[in-house]
Amino acid sequence: RIRPNKKNDLIRVTPIAMKATTLKKAAVYAGSLSFLAGSVFAQTAVSGAGGYRTETIEQGFNVVGVNLHNPVIVSGSLDTSNGAEVGDSTVDYGAILSADETYIFEVLDGDQAGAIAEISAAGNGSVTLDGDIGDINGAAYSIRKAPTLNETFGGLTAGFTAAGADVVWVPTGEAAPNNFAQYFKHSTGNFRAAGSFSDPAKPISFLYSDAVLIERKAADPLPIVITGMVKTVGTVVNIPEGFGPVAVSAPVGSTLQDSGLAAVLTPGFTAAGADVIWVPNGPQEANAFNQYFVHTSGGIRAAGSFADADPVSVKNGLLIERKSEGTAGLLTVPDFYANL
């Protein structure tokens, strides 16, 4: 699975530091996001910005995007870019990365900024990606552990089979009917594929560019807490033909209008001729969405409206109804993230 940046957007990475005034600004946006910066407001800067947010999972289908991440394990500049083999000759990745975990490689600047790919092998001086991003020699990069279902959604209701458990629908990157893989938490504690009678060889991971669908079976709402670090650059997301969930890059402060989607999706004079963005209707309301589209004028409009919409806050996951061949594009973060 690979997410190349087809739009060639340029983003310049900045040192990860956060001034107290910037953190206050972010906290104003936060809503359900709380920052874990200790006594940051009494400090001039901290090393990175982390936080948590609580999502309430309702009965039915819930769109959940993960935009708080595991810490960066390795970062630097590339001096090797040979197809799927990339790396820094001074780093022994094999000694740093565990064969029992899944890792995500991300490009931080240059023409492929925001492109991500899973790492399939790690050696001394280079890693092998699950696909060819292109020529990224000299680009800044980072590597972090991929999120897993066990760590992120371990609070979901377990069962002996998927029929008696909550089910997580993970995008495969393919068009329907093969666009989702289904997983559930077995009563022994680990997630496994629906229909499987054994645990996988290693924890099931997913790309953080993909939102997931959580199918909640029980009537009672279930709060889950998502924790991690804020990522200061956008992420290239996959948008397959048909319906596909994508994760919003920024946990706070982002709107449909500045998310980057307008440059990726097919516009139309009405929603009938355009790709449609399905925005969850309220932070804890399953199965209910507001629909928007990119008008031919470039603005974002609600389906059925003849005027551009006011800024539409987004902070989690969206469903994209893609009416033509699948594509990929960069979802951005607000400008003030460059100072986090």
Distance between CA atoms of residues 4 and 235, nearest Å = 10
Write the burial class of residue 247 (CB in 10 Å: 0-12 exposed, 13-18 middle, 19+ buried): buried
Above 60 in pLDDT, residue 2? no
Which pLDDT band holds residue 9 (cuts at 50, 70, 90)? very low
Average pLDDT over residues 70-99: 96
244 forms beta bridges with 320
The pLDDT, as a whole number, for residue 174 is 80
**Token output for 267:** 């516009």
> pTM to 2 decimals?
0.83
Q: What is the pLDDT of residue 51?
A: 85
SS (H, E, C) 243-283: EEEEECCCCCCEECCCCCHHHCCCCECCHHHCCEEEEECCC
Structure tokens belonging to residue 144: 């972090």
Higher pLDDT, 17 or 312: 312
Q: For 224-270, what is each residue's pLDDT tens digit? A: 999 999 998 999 999 999 999 999 999 888 999 999 999 999 999 99
pLDDT of 155 above 70: yes
The percentage of residues in the chain with a pLDDT greater than 90, rounded to a whole number, is: 72
Average pLDDT over residues 262-280: 96
In sequence order, what DSSP letters do the residues of 130-174 get, joined into one string?
Answer: SS-----TT-EEEEEEPPBHHHHSTTSPPBSSGGGS-EEEEE-SS
Contact 44, 339 (CB under 8 A): no
Q: pLDDT at residue 186 above 50?
A: yes
* Averaged pLDDT, 153-157: 96
Q: What is the mean pLDDT of residues 288-303?
A: 96
The residue that leads in pLDDT, 10 or 155, is: 155
Do the strands 235-239 and 327-331 form a parallel or antiparallel pair, or are they unpaired? antiparallel
Confidence (pLDDT) at 285? 57
Q: In the chain, pLDDT over 70 holds for what percent of residues?
A: 84
Q: What is the pLDDT of residue 204?
A: 95
pLDDT tens-place string over residues 115-149: 999 999 999 999 999 999 999 999 999 999 999 99
